[in-house]
Amino acid sequence: MAGGWARDGAVQDQIDDTISDAVRAARSRMPVGESERYCIECGEEIPERRREALPGVKRCVACQSGLDSSARASGINRRGSKDSQLR
């Protein structure tokens, strides 16, 4: 974080850069290319509207939701706030 002799607006610039980096990283993880017609996990048909909305999609909503929720449940405290460490 900027502080001390930093110029005015330096903190906001750091916040903006952090957000831009996160958006860029999220976009790089999005699927690209041709979508699968059937889910690679369960074999159910992926609705056409989903395939149009997310080019390169490989899973149905239910399977992708399960994958996303298991990825979030890592149990690692990434924020490092004192309150979350005391729980």
pLDDT in tens, 11-70: 899 999 999 999 999 888 887 889 999 999 999 999 999 999 988 999 999 999 998 887
Distance CA 45, CA 51 (A): 10
pTM: 0.51
Nearest one of 72, 55, 68, 62 to 41, comparing CA atoms:
62
Tell me the one-letter amino acid at 39: C
DSSP 25-60: HHHHTS--SPPPSB-TTT-PBPPHHHHHHSTT--S-
Q: Is 86 helix (H, G, I), strand (E, B) or coil?
A: helix
